[in-house]
Copies of this chain bind each other. A is one copy, B any other.
Amino acid sequence: MDMPLVEQVRSFNRTMTERVGVLNDHFLGRNHPLGEARLLWEIGAEGASVRELRRRLSLDSAYVSRLLRSLEKQGLIVVKTSEHDGRVRLVQLTEAGLRERAELDHRADAFARSLLEPLGESQRVKLAAAMAQVERLLIASMVQITIADPTSQDARWCIEQYFSELGERFETGFDPTLGISAHPHELTPPDGLLLVARLREEPVGCGALKFHEDTVGELKRMWVAPRARGLGLGRRLLLALEDAARQAGITILHLETNHTLVEAIELYRHSGYQEVEAFNDEPYAHHWFEKRLTAPT
Contacting B at CB under 8 A, from A192-242, are 232, 235-236
The closest CB in chain B to the CB of A8 belongs to B128
Copies of this protein chain in the complex: 2
Whether the pair A134, B127 counts as a contact (CB closer than 8 A) is: yes
Contact A23 B15 (CB under 8 A): no
Interface residues of A in 1-45 (CB under 8 A from B): 1-2, 4-13, 15-17, 19-20, 23-24
A111 at the interface (CB under 8 A from B): yes
> Given A112-B6, A128-B4, are A11 and B120 neighbors across the interface (CB < 8 Å)?
no
A119 contacts across to B, CB distance below 8 A: 137, 140-141, 232
Residue in B113, B118, B130, B141 whose CB lies within 8 Å of A6: B113
Q: Which residues of B contact A108 (CB under 8 A)?
A: 10, 13
Cβ-defined contact, A15 with B135, below 8 A: yes
Q: Is there a chain B Cβ closer than 8 Å to A124's Cβ?
A: yes
A116 interface residue per 8 A CB criterion: yes
Expressed in whole angstroms, the Cα–Cα distance for A116 and B1 within the complex equals 8
Separation of A1 and B127 alpha carbons in the complex (Å): 13
Q: Which B residues lie within 8 Å of A20 (CB)?
A: 13, 16-17, 20
Residues of B within 8 A of A235 (CB): 120
Shortest distance between the CB of A103 and any CB in chain B (Å): 15
Inter-chain contact B141/A137, CB cutoff 8 Å? no
Judge whether A191 is part of the interface by a CB distance below 8 angstroms.
no
* Cβ contact within 8 Å between A124 and B10: no
Q: How far is the CB of A21 from chain B (nearest CB, A)?
A: 8
The interface bits of chain A over 88-124 (1 if a CB of B lies within 8 angstroms of the residue's CB, else 0) are 0000000000000000000011011101111110011
- Is residue A59 within 8 Å, beta carbon to beta carbon, of the partner chain? no
B127 touches A15 (CB 8 A): no
Smallest distance from the beta carbon of A111 to chain B beta carbons, Å?
7
A-B contact pairs, 6 of them (CB 8 A): A6-B109, A6-B113, A6-B116, A7-B112, A12-B135, A13-B23
